[in-house]
A and B are shown apart, each in its own frame.
Chain A
Amino acid sequence: MNKSSAPFLCKDYRVNLMNNKLSIPDERVKEMSTFRNSLIRPELGGIIGTIVVFIIFIILASDSGMFSSQGVLNWSIVSAQFMIIAVGACLLMIAGEFDLSVGSMIGFAGMLIAIFGVTFGWPMWMAILLTFAICIAIGALNGFICIRTGLPSFIVTLAFLFILRGFTIFLPQTIERKTIIGGIREAAEGDWLGAVFGEKLFMGFFQYLGDLGIISVFSRGTRAGEPVVNGIPMLIVWALILVAFGHILLTKTRFGNWIFASGGDAEAARNSGVPVNKVKILMFMFTAFCATVFATCQVMEFGSAGADRGLLKEFEAIIAVVIGGALLTGGYGSVIGAALGALIFGVVQQGLFFAGVESSLFRVFLGLILLGAVILNTYIRRLITGER
């Protein structure tokens, strides 16, 4: 092959390429774009939403005790609950799948813990570990069925929404002849794993703050002298750990890259050597794990498991994730955004209560926030990704 025999066309192209190479980047434009890049990120919508919501409630409810230590703890707990399931839902959604069985899984997991730990009288740590194993296995089964059959996860997990809820009602009814099993707190007394989900952290420190008068203390009753907020519930600690874990996994590891790719375009990801099936099944398992954490914290707090626990939680998780900027069709999103979405959700729900707004209006607010957030997020995403 003789290079000089290359036709004139080819030479033209070469010249073209040279021109491209020689063009000098405009430094001013570059600076602008660095600034924009730091501002325009997937969680921008969540950040803006959080600021707006806090401003609204500082105006509406600042004199209602919403921002007293007790009030803060109140909406922090609610937000943390949303966060725990939102992290799982977020990673799964970015990987391109849904899990509609999260709410039922919460009820189911709580019921399993009650049956194992109370009815069967097993040690609480064993009840909890076994419940985690069963629920994560069900998550894997969800994923496996989706991958194997190629059915949309929407349908497969919808089936599990009914199956798990059915068992959650059936099991206690046949075993205990009732749909609520109590006595969990007593059964978990002194159990190390129970404490990981039900205890509070820094209780000494909060007592100290109470003694100093920084936190108000109960003035009468059995708890006289104790601070009104006597520690940070493990629920909040779990929420923060899961958010940090999810964020680091997604943005700082190669596995995170695979999560984005699996949801962005599974076929292209496979062609690049990404083990898409493995990624998706693992994310289903992680979602189930998060639901079980939620359930365990809840039964430890309430001391009982009920057949109706976790109702509609799957949608609340998905709403938080979408408010946080994730794309429903997968391949795009942020765990921090989802956490902010959960915070917005919790603050609005409890804030309306503090502000004394008719509770039915919560749904109106939620709908408005969802709509506003999605419109804003779509706009931001277009700026980032150049979707057309």
Chain B
Amino acid sequence: MNSQATVTPIIEMRNIRKHYGPVIALAGVSIKIYPGECHCLLGDNGAGKSTFIKAMSGVVKPTQGDIFVNGEQKFFNNPRDAMQAGIATVHQHLAMIPLMSVSRNFFLGNEPTKKIAGIQFYDRKHADSKTMEAMSKMGINLRGPDQAVGTLSGGERQTVAISRAVHFGARVLILDEPTSALGVRQTSNVLATIDKVRNEGVAVVFITHNVRHALAVGDRFTVLNRGQTHGTAMRGDITPEDLQNLMAGGQELATLEGSLGGTV
């Protein structure tokens, strides 16, 4: 990846600012994302991570700053614009509808249709078989395509959301805390999925508070703190302790660590 200086980033966010009334959620954040990398975005609660990726996915409009996709400046007015540019997002509070079946969720907004007597009908057979195929590729054994998303575990839901994004041609996949509510096994499944997706050449933006999760799959790390960033570190250039301290803003954790015996 030393050649990165010459490769155009698949997406570049330059000096993004976002104000919510008096609150400065982002005070000028820049980031470059390259194809096939897993870029971890770390930071404490309220650091501005979700706000930042919402700007990237067209959910919020930045107050200031520029967005470039493959070197070309873009203005996203809504999530559809971002999707069209190949940017898919799995939001923190999931994009799955628990009462609906996996296959209906999988194709939501992109339903395949077939014409019968001139009328467009939902092509359920196609949707079902494609869903089963995509799911088994990701290592999830569904009872059937009719199985409701509500019956899946948290990790499986994340995997469905991720594989859906990839299936519809995402080149940048943004995951907002996909592991925050998961246990060890589920987390490992999601991380493995991230790894798979990255190996297919998709750029993954992985948001987490958990330094261990970040280190398990991340290629580069950007830490946000109170709406600002201290730049991006490569894997190997930074120790877990450094990351941890950067996230906490440098000092507070040092005192905490003593009393918790280094378990944070």
Partner of A274, one of B36, B108, B185, B192: B108
**A29-37, A53-61, A132-140 - the one binding chain B:** A29-37
Q: Which of B59, B124, B189 contacts A17 (CB 8 A)?
A: B189
Chain B nearest Cβ from A242, distance in angstroms: 17
Q: Is A360 among interface residues, defined by CB-CB distance under 8 A?
A: no
Q: How far is the CA of A34 from the CA of B146 in the complex (A)?
A: 10
B121 touches A387 (CB 8 A): no
11 interchain pairs, CB-CB under 8 A? A9-B216, A25-B141, A37-B144, A37-B146, A253-B113, A261-B104, A269-B108, A269-B109, A273-B109, A385-B150, A387-B150
Complex-state Cα separation, A345 to B132, whole angstroms: 40
Question: Would you give the 0/1 interface string for B117-134, flagging 1 where the beta carbon is closer than 8 Å to chain A?
Answer: 000111010000000000
Choose one: B1, B91, B97, B140; the contact of A261 (CB below 8 Å).
B97
Q: Is the CB of B143 within 8 A of A20?
A: no
Contact of A268 among B95, B136, B185, B216 (CB under 8 A): B95
A353 to B110, CA, bound (A): 51
Determine whether B66 belongs to the interface, using a CB cutoff of 8 Å to chain A.
Answer: no
Instruction: Scan B195-209; emit 1 where CB is below 8 A from any A CB, else 0.
Output: 110000000000000
B71 at the interface (CB under 8 A from A): no
A336 CB, nearest partner CB in chain B, Å: 16
B140 touches A20 (CB 8 A): yes
Across the interface, A7 reaches (CB within 8 A) one of B99, B124, B150, B216, namely B216
User: In the complex where A14-B192, A33-B143, A253-B121 touch, is A387 in contact with B107 (Cβ < 8 A)?
Assistant: no
Chain A residue total in the interface (Cβ 8 A): 45
Contact across chains for B215 and A7 when beta carbons are under 8 A apart: yes
A17-B139, A327-B99 known; A260-B94 Cβ under 8 A: no
- Complex: A325 Cα to B81 Cα, angstroms: 38
* B167 contacts partner chain A, Cβ-Cβ < 8 Å: no
CB neighbours (8 Å) of B121 from chain A are 252-253
* A328 CB to nearest chain B CB (Å): 13
A270: min CB distance to chain B, Å: 7
**Would you call B98 an interface residue if the criterion is a C-beta within 8 Å of the partner chain's C-beta atoms?**
yes
B215 close to A254 (CB less than 8 A): no
Flag if B140 contacts A386 (CB, 8 Å).
no
For B185, B193, B195, which residue has the most chain A Cβ atoms within 10 angstroms? Answer: B195
Give the residues in chain B near A33, CB-CB below 8 Å: 143-144
> By DSSP majority rule, is chain A's interface helix, strand, loop, or mixed?
helix
Contact A386 B235 (CB under 8 A): no
Cross-chain contact of B188 among A1, A5, A16, A260 (Cβ < 8 A): A16
- Supply 15 further A-B pairs (C-beta < 8 A) apart from A16-B192, A20-B140, A272-B95: A1-B1, A1-B219, A20-B189, A252-B121, A252-B124, A257-B100, A264-B97, A265-B96, A268-B96, A268-B97, A271-B79, A271-B91, A273-B109, A385-B99, A386-B98
**Residues of A close to B83: CB separation below 8 A:** 273
Report the bound CA distance from A265 to B98 in whole Å: 9
Contact A386 B151 (CB under 8 A): yes
Q: Given A20-B189, A264-B99, A386–B148 Cβ distance below 8 Å? A: yes
Report whether A260 and B122 are in contact in the complex, using a CB–CB cutoff of 8 Å.
no
Q: Which residues of A contact B146 (CB under 8 A)?
A: 37
Contact B195 A14 (CB under 8 A): yes
A5 touches B235 (CB 8 A): yes
Of chain A, the residue at the smallest CB distance from B187 is: A13
Evaluate contact between B37 and A1: CB separation under 8 angstroms.
Answer: yes
Question: Which of A5, A34, A260, A271: most chain B CB closer than 10 A?
Answer: A271
Q: Name the B residues within 8 Å of A268 (CB-CB).
A: 91, 94-97
